[in-house]
């Protein structure tokens, strides 16, 4: 099934926190729609305590060989510039290991962000890694165990 598919398969069993939002298997509406949101989410994914824009720009140059100025990165992160093009788009895509379409294609973005959020949760990551290679039947059994554990801990009950 592969690790990525395994993660997607198991994500629906976990309530995953992404920033201040919680979602169950799917991202909430409007999440990650702007280029600024996407870049900031990628920075948050890469660093638990993000450095400043100057340090990030230096890292981008060092890792990709492509230049992006501190000011331009700041404008992208604050939404003052919305469409990186050319070398800047390539630099961001290479640095964050995403296809250039990530910054513009909502479908690609949602899948990537869902996986990134899922991978942030250490327990989810460990279960998914250990489940990789198991048959679909075994993965479904694991999913059922997780569902039962959530019921026991009353994690899915609505607030009436």
Q: By the 8 A CB rule, do 75 and 88 touch?
A: no
What are the pLDDT digits (tens) for 48-107? Answer: 889 999 999 999 999 999 989 999 999 999 988 878 878 888 899 899 888 887 787 665
Helices 53-64 and 70-78 cross at an angle (nearest 10°) of 110
**What pLDDT, on the 0 to 100 scale, is given for residue 76?**
92
- Sign of the alpha-carbon torsion through 137, 121, 114, 129: negative
Among 36-40, 142-146, 154-158, name the one with the lowest average pLDDT. 154-158
User: Which domains are present in the chain?
Assistant: 1-31+121-160 (no CATH), 32-110 (1.10.260.40)
**What pLDDT, on the 0 to 100 scale, is given for residue 148?**
87
Give the span between the Cα atoms of 95 and 122, in whole angstroms: 23
**What pLDDT, on the 0 to 100 scale, is given for residue 97?**
86
Place of tokens 């992160």: 77
Query: Which is more confidently placed, 22 or 126?
Result: 126
Spatial neighbors of 5 by CB under 8 A, at least 6 apart, are none
CA 109 to chain centre: 8
Spatial neighbors of 136 by CB under 8 A, at least 6 apart, are 1
Query: Which is more confidently placed, 81 or 3?
Result: 81
Q: By the 8 A CB rule, do 38 and 98 touch?
A: no
| Threshold 0.85, pTM exceeds | no
Q: Is the pLDDT of residue 9 over 70?
A: no
**What pLDDT, on the 0 to 100 scale, is given for residue 87?**
86
With b for 16 or more beta-carbon neighbours within 10 A and e for fewer, the 16-52 pattern comes to: bebeeeebeeebeeebbeebbbbbbbbbebeeeeeee
Q: Is the pLDDT of residue 150 over 90?
A: no
What are the pLDDT digits (tens) for 100-120? Answer: 877 876 655 566 666 666 666
Q: By the 8 A CB rule, do 74 and 53 touch?
A: yes
């Amino acid at each position: 099934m592969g690790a990525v598919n395994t993660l997607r398969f198991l994500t629906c069993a976990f309530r995953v926190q992404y920033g201040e939002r919680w979602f169950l298997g799917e991202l909430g509406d409007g999440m990650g729609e702007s280029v600024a949101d996407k870049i900031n989410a990628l920075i948050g994914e890469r660093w638990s305590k993000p450095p400043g824009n100057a340090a990030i720009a230096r890292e981008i140059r060092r890792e990709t060989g492509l230049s992006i100025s501190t000011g331009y990165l700041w404008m992208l992160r604050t939404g003052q510039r919305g469409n990186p093009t050319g070398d800047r788009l390539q630099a961001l895509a290479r640095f964050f290991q995403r296809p250039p379409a990530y910054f513009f294609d909502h479908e690609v973005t949602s899948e990537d962000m869902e996986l990134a959020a899922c991978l942030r949760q250490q327990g989810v990551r460990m279960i998914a890694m250990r489940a990789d290679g198991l048959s679909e039947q075994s993965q479904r059994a694991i999913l059922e165990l997780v569902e039962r554990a959530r019921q026991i801990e009353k994690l899915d009950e609505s607030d009436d």
